[in-house]
Each structure stands twice: as structure tokens, then as C-alpha cells.
Structure 1
């Protein structure tokens, strides 16, 4: 199933990259194992489903849903043999209706798979809808989340001997640091800033102060950066 929304997002909420989050519920003897993963594209989401089919090869159902993109334009769900509309759609709704803060629906780049081991007791359509929705919602309540923001990257060249001090001072001042590069003669520190003239001017002033005016901030375009919530 696909649902489309129109927006021009500059930030959204997602899972940290690099590890899955798992949570299990037992409902009337059926086991519902929810696995959440950061999924920047459809291939990543489908890879999660395929991997869990291999891992839980004896389970009856591997239902899935995912929402992808800063604008949440890619949204899919699959009932995987459960009665139509009782698994994938409730899972997807749990993702897209997740509030990162009151009134803000911005969860994206997240794939959810619920592996079900049937316990011998039929839940009925309504029971299945509640079970799959609760499984994903509860996992999201417990999972670590980060904010992903499109920020302006600016770089500054400093001597290797000063790089650690300057970077620590910038972090302590609340600046978000992107990847640091090391060249033969200099270290290149990168700051991720709000794309506002005052934010960039303030950063320039801070860098000048920390380097006694010997270094200057230069723009390097923009990038999506994970920011702790």
C-alpha cells in the first residue's frame, strides 16, 4: 500500500543507524516479535524482511511496514498472509502517527517487521489490528530515537596541534560537529549549522575567537545530520 504526503521537510525523527531494536509481546499465547531498523531506502527495508524470514523461518507471519524519506513520500505495508488490513496497515499507521512531540508527526526512514508465532487462539480481525498496532507502538515507545536535520556545513582549517582543543570548545559551546578530516598540513573541522545568516555569523565569530583570528569558516553546502534528541 502507498500513501503520499506533500511537505518540504528540513528535519525528521528516526532510529539511530547501525543496529536493530527488538521487542516482544505475548497476546493470548501468540508471540509478536517486533524488529525496528533505520531504513534510508526500500532495499534496506526489504533486506530486513528477508533477513528475518531466514532467522525466524518457522514463524507463520512476517508482517511489515515502512516509511521512508524526509517528506515521508514512500510508505508501504504487507499483511504476509494475515487477513487483509489486519497487520500491515495498523503497523504503518503506528509509524506515521507516531508523535515525536505533541502534534508533530515526522517519524521516517524506519522499517518495522512483526514476526508472529501463532499460539493456537484466534484473535479475530479486531484483535489482530490491536495486536499489530500495539506491537509497533510499544517498540517505538522503548526504542532510542534521534532527530535528523538538514544543516549547513561549514569547515575550518586548524593546525593538528590545535584541532582537539578547538573541536572540544565548539562542542562545549553547543555546536554540532560533522566529520573531521586530516590532511598533511591541517585538520579540517566541520560544523553543522542552522542555515540562517545569524547562526553562520555567530559561528564565524566563535571560530575567530578560538583561533586568535588565524582561521576562517568556509561554506561546504548542506547535509542531513543526526542530532541527539
Structure 2
């Protein structure tokens, strides 16, 4: 599990270049087959368009990438789309840029700019999340330690799912793998070992619009 950016909610963006419309649609995918199915879905949706160019990146450690110019001059469409994807650091993503020809040839430089700008617009209109590898961690304590622990968690920007209030307090927190041992040590030292720390499932987590998301 490695930290990486991903599409939480796909979006679309559109630009006009010399009367040609370029419409970028973005989607999260987990497999090459999913990416190919989405490309075919967009071809059917925009069946009357001149071109439906595409690129995708699948995987986080062994990454598979492919791109298609779909009839545009070689290297002017699929490659620019893929370069934007690669430069964004987003994994498991497919982008299809549809072109409705406006009657004016753009030349190779104009096409590269248009497909690049359309892809950026599509990604900007999508919800992108940084997926952090970590663990669910339950922190059980007496009420007297709650204030101190809440302050410590806030100081270290630790995300929490929810808190249980019974005879004890249990904070259901999310520790990144990178910070897990450091945080456990801090909690033990700050409370003289009074807080029980119990590790749970491995998860990816992140935030979108202030909301905590578990993957």
C-alpha cells in the first residue's frame, strides 16, 4: 500500500478552440477492462463526434498506461492526455476527450494544447483525494484523559471516524502507516500508558470537502 492520489468522484470539463469543442470526461477505474469499457461507453455517448481520444493509468505500484489518438495525428491527443495524468500523480484514472470538429484545422501544436487543456479542465472539475495507507486504531480511556488526547490528536492532524461514550471513551481514529508508531509512543508518554491502543484493519483513508473517506 502506497500513498497516492485518486479520483473520488469523476467530472467533466469543456474548452472551445477555433470552434472545435473538446469535452473531457474523467472516471475512477481499478482495471484495464474497466478503463476500456468506459472508453467504449463514451464512444457510444458521443457517437456523432469526430474523435474520442483517451488515456488511462491503472495500478499503484505496477502501473499500466495506454493512450489512443483515435484518428488525430500521431502524438497530438492520447499522449498529451496521458502526460497530464502522469504529471498529476493520479492513479487508477481514465480520461476520454471528445472532439467535435469546428471546421478549422488546429495544427499539431494547437491540438496538443487543446487536448492538454481539456484534460486539465476535466480533472479540475473532479473530486481528487489523496489515499493514505494506514490502520483503524481504537483509543480507549477514562473521561479524565479525553481532553489531553483530543488535543494531542488535533496537534498531529489525526483523522477520526467517531467517538463512543459509555463507561469509558473510545475514539476510533485513523493512523497513517508512516506515523503509526510515533503516534502510539506519543499517546503512551502523554497519558503515562493509561490509554489502551488497539490496532484494527488496514485501510486507505483521506478527506474530500472536509469529510473523512474510508476506502
TM-score by length of 1: 0.70
How much has 1:108 moved relative to structure 2? 1.6
Which of 166, 182, 196 pairs up with 1:216? Answer: 196
Corresponding position of 2:35: 45
Q: Which runs of 4+ in 1 moved over 4 A?
A: 169-173, 203-206
The CA deviation string for residues 49-108 of structure 1, in whole angstroms up to 9 with x for no partner, is 12212222211211111122223611111112222221101110111123xxxxxxx222
* Structure 2 residue 10 is the aligned partner of structure 1 residue 12: no
Q: Which runs of 5+ in 2 are unaligned?
A: 164-169, 210-215
* Structure 2 residue 25 is the aligned partner of structure 1 residue 35: yes
* Structure 2 residue 102 is the aligned partner of structure 1 residue 119: yes
Q: In the superposition, relative to structure 1, how do residues 59 and 194 fare at CA in structure 2: closer, same or farther (>3 Å)?
A: same
How much has 1:221 moved relative to structure 2? 4.8
How much has 1:188 moved relative to structure 2? 8.8
Question: How many residue pairs were aligned?
Answer: 199
After TM superposition, list the pairs within 5 Å mapping 1:2-151 onto structure 2.
Answer: 10-15=2-7, 17=8, 19-71=9-61, 73-98=63-88, 106-151=89-134
**Hey, what's the Cα distance between the residues in 2 that align with 1:87 and 1:36?**
15
Hey, which of these two has a bigger chunk of strand by percent? Answer: 2
Moved more, 110-119 or 49-58: 49-58
Secondary structure, aligned partner of 2:91: coil
How much has 1:29 moved relative to structure 2? 1.0
**Hey, what's the Cα distance between the residues in 1 that align with 2:59 and 2:175?**
20
**Hey, what's the Cα distance between the residues in 1 that align with 2:38 and 2:189?**
46
How much has 1:132 moved relative to structure 2? 0.8
The CA deviation string for residues 143-165 of structure 1, in whole angstroms up to 9 with x for no partner, is 4322111113323579xxx9xx9
TM-score by length of 2: 0.74
Which of 157, 176, 181 pairs up with 1:193? Answer: 176
**Hey, what's the Cα distance between the residues in 2 that align with 1:34 and 1:198?**
43
The CA deviation string for residues 138-185 of structure 1, in whole angstroms up to 9 with x for no partner, is 333454322111113323579xxx9xx99xx598663223599xxxxx
**Hey, what's the Cα distance between the residues in 2 that align with 1:128 and 1:144?**
26
Corresponding position of 1:102: none
Is contact 1:178–1:192 with CA below 8 Å preserved after alignment? no
**Hey, what's the Cα distance between the residues in 1 that align with 2:160 and 2:59?**
23
Q: In the superposition, relative to structure 1, how do residues 13 and 179 fare at CA in structure 2: closer, same or farther (>3 Å)?
A: farther
